[in-house]
Amino acid sequence: PAATVLKYPLSNMAGKAGRQSRPRKADKDEEEKPLQAVLVADSFNRRFFPITKDQPRALLPLANVSMIDYTLEFLTSTGVQETFVFCCWMASKIKEHLQKSKWCRPTSPNVVHVITSDLYRSLGDVLRDVDAKALVRSDFLLVYGDVVSNIDVSQALQEHKQRRSMDKNVSVMTMIFKESPPGHKTRCEDDDIIVAMDGKSKRILHYQRAQALKKLHFPMVRCLEVGSDEFEIRFDLLDCHISICSPQVAELFTDNFDYQTKNDFVRGLLVNEEILGNQIHMHVTRDGYGARVSNLLMYDTVSSDTIRRWIYPITPEANFADQEGQSCTHSRHNVYREPGVSLGHGSQMEENVLIGRNTVIGANCTISNTVIGANCVIGDNVTLDRAYIWNRVHIADNVKVKQSVICDNVEVKHGVVLSEQCVLAYNVVVGPDITLPEGTVLSMHHPDEEDDEDEDEFLSDDNDVGYSKDKTKQKVFNPAEVGSEGKGYRWKSSSLDDTEEDELAECIWGLALSADPESDSESEVSEGSHDLGSHPASPELDDVKVFQNEVHGTLQRGLDENISCDNLVLEINSLKYAYNISLKEVMQILMRVVLEFPFQQQGAQISTAQYSSHLLPLLKKWAPVFKNYVKRPQDQLDCLASMEEVFLECETHWAVLMSMYQLEILEEEGIMHWFNQGSTTDKSQQLRRNQGLLKFIKWLQEAEESSEGDE
Amino acid sequence: MPGADKETDLSERIESFLSELKRCGSGAGSLRGSAETARETTALLRRITAQARWGNAGELMEIIRKEGRRMTAAQPSETTVGNMIRRVLKIIREEYARSRGSSEETDQQESLHKLLTSGGSSEDNFRQHFTHLKANVIEAINELLTELEGTTDNISMQALEHIHSNEVIMTIGRSRTVEAFLKDAARKRKFHVIVAECAPFCQGHEMATSLCKEDIETTVIPDAAIFAVMSRVNKVIIGTQTVLANGGLRAVNGTHTLALAAKHHSTPLIVCAPMFKLSPQVPDTPYNHTKLKSVDTILYIHILSKVNAHCPVFDYVPPELITLFISNIGGNAPSYIYRLMSELYHPEDHEL
């Protein structure tokens, strides 16, 4: 009978399956290589502390599904066939979760490998390990374990491949951005960025975080150097934290062991573009949803967006994680119910509610914009608004919760009121009859523990921890903080300094208080005070100044110790990278420093003759240095422009120009071009009418004519 | 062990089909038209019949039912999958009956008396083993596949009977069947087509472009103008996602408006629907028929968290508003749908 089967023509289905299985046989062809992804299941920060003390961030439930499942679903739907999950903090928990999930079933289209190490301290470490183990063979997707997205990256992938095949290995990375104007809910103010890109090639020219930046110093130079006709400076983009990387990215991380984060990498690459010749491109999408759950405010936003179906087809009722018993029904006003939910008499689920399996809700409750996990028990007359309640939580009667996160196994006794932005971490008990003020964070872990257990893995067995704590720090539960029967420590009033206190609260809920409509007034106040407090201090400007001083020092030393010009160039180059100065600026600063050298030595009031006699030997000495930097016609113009700036004040020193010409630092085309250029200010016009200069120009012209005559 | 190998291969195929079904809602999946879904489902069922381990018809039906439940659960809005599973189950029943030598007519038409006397389910009778059953079933499924290939052609062949010269035809959104139907008529006759754009996805635009290429005079109107334009229209021809058991439709959003406007102006409404879209589902609450997509398309910017946005995809159109169904086996009135249903599916298979 088997032979008869083979007779039938292969259908569509068979054809497709054949196509899918072919790449696994590892063809040599570039196109046929399976798409790989690197998923970093660790945030390398403590944003979610104290919640992440018990559970890694990637496993925190978002609409009752672990965040990492969203990321894996996104990767799988984009056609990724092999994913490497890197975990550090609580790696064993992530591993266990993944082994139980659908991703590790033999039929999974996406093969998931879990790689764990306690030594990862940053994204850089992970990528260096990717390189060391030679895991990736071709382009791969790089995402964090807390990215929720439904963006179709196939177009970006294609563009990336095209760029790579056109310009061999120049473009190393394509970053995916979602168009979302300021004020968009998914914009996280920590992550606000300003990006400059070439309008045509979509190449990133400048990338800067806008966080708390009042003034943007924008290196026009770099954009002009590239020579593109049009470039865009955009603030309406959201970094989705999805990037398409070529294997070189991992190599670059290995080469530059100081790169810790993607930000380091992008900035480092852009600064060193001239040397390394690598470029970063971007892909801007309007459709789709992409956000990273980087703080609790984002957690709030992304959860509610999931329930409001912004991330379709990843919706609660789709049960994409394929977990047993998690199929829920969707009904009007976005109310989702998993099996076994019981709702008491008179209780209302107003809108945007997700209730996990076997949860029991008492009578006369009002629930809106809320996610409740599995096996919770909620009493009578409870009001929940924007509450995120995880699994096995007990809430007694007459409790009010507003925009708060309540983790697993928490017990909230009767009469408790949770104000906005409260966090009750694992196993906390609160109440009865207590009102927690806004922004309270309670945890079973004492804030002081943090420092001691900083480095160790802390695979906690809850009972064990509770026991040891009871021994060492007995009766530290403050009834004023957690209620008479409460258990837990308040994290805000910790041993940290006053300033850091606020930071902690900000950290867990993010800086973006203003994005939250309910706390508008408060945030306005805080923003106002911010304005008064911090003065715009552009670090770039300082860098330039410091650089100028350093160059001066270097030259002075070169003069005193008679250092060769090659070594001077080397020193100036290293300074350039240390202070992140563009080539053009280096040239201008060098020119200025040299021209001002005699003033510095002899005082400002020296005659023209004295000045020239001082400067000429110096120029002769450093001519090779100049020649090293001044190469193209554009460089000469830049040089002359800075010269002009210096001589605007004292116009008598034009002999210098002559000697520069004679030393072949400047060429006559450059000088003529500069001279003929329309001058903008009166002063510079006046300067151009200077007798000495005119004579020189005339001499140049004549020389040119005579040389032409010779030919 | 080649047997085990085959089995994993089969389950791998089923899994990939399931995940594709789940994803096709987003438009990212490769399954596009429902015709293609129908063909792929049938092909997969043929493969299951050929490769799965079963000894008799009852076991095979059990396997197909089990997989069928998973497939329909993967994408509940795609009724074609369920319909094809029911067709195949019916084929197995027929082949079994034929192998046993009894006439299929008597087996299907169970009288009230017979139902009362026989008592238990007829499943018990499927336990007999026939050597040729597998080959016969596969042969019959192949026939079904051939039928599926020809549905669009069969429908568009009837176009000239319905579209006359200089008529004004209105349609909504994009239906491949309607597109073929109109293009077929355009080869002989000149007529004018008005396409409602079907916001927010605006499939109507694609439809209009496609019709223009065949030199059909085409006008695109916004959905809001349907009623105003209806007075000029001679005939409304639409496609549908599903034909329900009562003769109603589950069709693209906006169809109900269109149907009501047509009724108001007494314009005939013709539905082009291949037989595989006929589903034994009955309409219950209107909400259960909508599939809510991402609201991204209608609300570009999150205005405030207080604003709720919904983006339903399907409308329920009651049978009273429909004049005629054109399927691959001819034209039928909505009131006749129940009869077709009983011919296509076995009553016991309505619930998988």
User: pLDDT per residue over A81-135, tens digit each?
Assistant: 899 999 888 888 999 999 888 888 877 788 889 988 888 888 888 888 888 888 8
Which of A424, A351, A399, A340 shows the shortest CA–CA distance to A374? A340
Q: Which of A80-84, A159-163, A441-445, A532-536 has the lowest mean pLDDT?
A: A532-536
pLDDT of A538 reads 39
pLDDT of A680 reads 59
Spell out which residues of chain B touch residue A155, defining contact as CB-CB under 8 Å.
none
Q: Over 70: is that where the pLDDT of B30 sits?
A: no
The alpha carbon dihedral of A119, A123, A124, A128 has a sign of: positive
Q: Over 50: is that where the pLDDT of A635 sits?
A: yes
SS3 assignment, position A574 = helix
List residues of chain B with CB under 8 Å from any CB of chain A: 8, 11-13, 15-17, 19, 22-23, 25-26, 28, 30, 36, 39-40, 43-44, 46-47, 50-51, 73, 134-135, 138, 142, 145, 287, 292-297, 300-302, 304-306, 308-309, 311
Tell me the residue type at B201.
F
A577 and B CB contact within 8 Å: no
The alpha carbon dihedral of A324, A329, A335, A337 has a sign of: negative
User: pLDDT per residue over A532-564, tens digit each?
Assistant: 333 333 344 567 778 888 888 888 888 787 777
Among the partner-chain residues A107, A309, A352, the one whose CB lies closest to the CB of B295 is A309
A329 → chain B, closest CA residue: B288
B36 → chain A, closest CA residue: A12
pLDDT of A39 reads 92
Looking at chain B, how many residues does it have?
352
pLDDT of A653 reads 61
User: Angle A234-A235-A239 (CA atoms, 0-180°, nearest 5)?
Assistant: 100
pLDDT of A296 reads 85
pLDDT of B186 reads 94
Read off the pLDDT band of A679 (50, 70, 90).
low
CA–CA min distance B74, chain A (Å): 8
Cβ proximity of A442 and A456 under 8 Å = no
Q: Over 50: is that where the pLDDT of A27 sits?
A: no
Distances (CA, A) of A681 to A644, A645, A648, A650, A690: 12, 11, 11, 16, 15
SS3 assignment, position A406 = strand
Instruction: Considering only residues A298 and A8, tell me which one the structure prediction assigns the higher pLDDT.
Output: A298
pLDDT of B187 reads 93
Read off the pLDDT band of B208 (50, 70, 90).
very high
The residues facing B170 across adjacent strands are B194, B236
Among the partner-chain residues A185, A309, A332, the one whose CB lies closest to the CB of B287 is A332
Question: How remote is the C-alpha of A551 from its chain's centroid?
Answer: 33
Looking at chain A, how many residues does it have?
711
Q: Over 60: is that where the pLDDT of A54 sits?
A: yes
The pLDDT mean for chain A works out to 76
Burial class (CB in 10 A: 0-12, 13-18, 19+), A564: exposed
Give the whole-number percent of chain B exceeding pLDDT 70.
82
Spell out which residues of chain A touch residue B25, defining contact as CB-CB under 8 Å.
312-313
Which of A317, A392, A403, A322 shows the shortest CA–CA distance to A359? A392
The residues facing A204 across adjacent strands are A197
Read off the pLDDT band of A496 (50, 70, 90).
very low
Two tokens, residue B133 = 């059953």
What is the distance between the alpha carbons of residues B225 and A684, in angstroms, rounded to a whole number?
66
> How many other CB atoms sit within 10 Å of the CB of residue A380?
18
pLDDT of B298 reads 52
Note the helical H segments in A101-180. 123-133, 154-166
The pLDDT mean for chain B works out to 83
Q: Which residues contact A548 (CB under 8 A, 6 or more apart)?
A: A589, A592, A593
CA–CA min distance B50, chain A (Å): 6
Average pLDDT over residues A57-68: 90
Spell out which residues of chain B touch residue A312, defining contact as CB-CB under 8 Å.
25-26, 292-294, 296
pLDDT of A23 reads 40
User: pLDDT per residue over A359-381, tens digit each?
Assistant: 999 999 999 999 999 999 999 99
Q: Over 50: is that where the pLDDT of A147 sits?
A: yes
CA–CA min distance A327, chain B (Å): 10
* Residues 158-217 of chain A whose Cβ lies under 8 A from any Cβ of chain B: 180-181, 184-186
Highest mean pLDDT (candidates A230-244, B19-33, B181-195) = B181-195
DSSP string, B48-77: HHHHS--SSHHHHHHHHHHHHHHHHHH-TT
DSSP string, A237-300: EEEEEEEEE-HHHHHHHHH-TT--SHHHHHHHHHHTHHHH--EEEEEEESSS-EEE--SHHHHH
CB contact under 8 A, B308 and A352: yes
Average pLDDT over residues B85-110: 76
Tell me the residue type at B312.
P
If phi over 0 gives left and psi between -120 and 50 gives alpha, with beta otherwise, what is residue A227?
Answer: left
Q: Over 80: is that where the pLDDT of A177 sits?
A: yes
If phi over 0 gives left and psi between -120 and 50 gives alpha, with beta otherwise, what is residue A288?
Answer: left
Q: Over 50: is that where the pLDDT of B135 sits?
A: yes
Q: What is the DSSP letter of A428?
A: -
Q: Before A432, cis peptide (omega within 30)?
A: yes
Distances (CA, A) of A275 to A270, A446, A558, B185: 10, 50, 26, 66
User: pLDDT per residue over B71-92, tens digit each?
Assistant: 888 777 788 999 999 999 999 9
pLDDT of A533 reads 33
What is the distance between the alpha carbons of residues A145 and A234, in angstroms, rounded to a whole number?
27
pLDDT of B182 reads 95
Average pLDDT over residues B105-118: 58
CB contact under 8 A, B50 and A288: no
Spell out which residues of chain B touch residue A5, defining contact as CB-CB under 8 Å.
50-51, 138
Which of A371, A374, A298, A379 shows the shortest CA–CA distance to A335? A371
SS3 assignment, position B269 = strand
Instruction: Considering only residues A406 and A232, tell me which one the structure prediction assigns the higher pLDDT.
Output: A406
A318 and B CB contact within 8 Å: yes
pLDDT of B319 reads 93
Which of A84, A98, A60, A76 shows the shortest CA–CA distance to A142? A84
Q: Which residues contact B341 (CB under 8 A, 6 or more apart)?
A: B245, B278, B280
CB contact under 8 A, B145 and A77: no
Two tokens, residue B135 = 């080959």
Q: Which of A149-163, A404-418, A583-597, B53-67 has the lowest mean pLDDT?
A: A583-597
Average pLDDT over residues A39-60: 84
Two tokens, residue A449 = 């523990």
Q: Which residues contact A553 (CB under 8 A, 6 or more apart)?
A: none
User: pLDDT per residue over A286-338, tens digit each?
Assistant: 878 888 888 888 898 899 888 888 887 788 877 777 776 677 788 878 888 88
pLDDT of A1 reads 35
What is the distance between the alpha carbons of residues A64 and A50, in angstroms, rounded to a whole number?
20
Highest mean pLDDT (candidates A92-96, A215-219, A619-623) = A92-96
Average pLDDT over residues B43-57: 89
Spell out which residues of chain B touch residue A288, defining contact as CB-CB under 8 Å.
296
Which of B7, B23, B50, B20 shows the shortest CA–CA distance to A106? B7
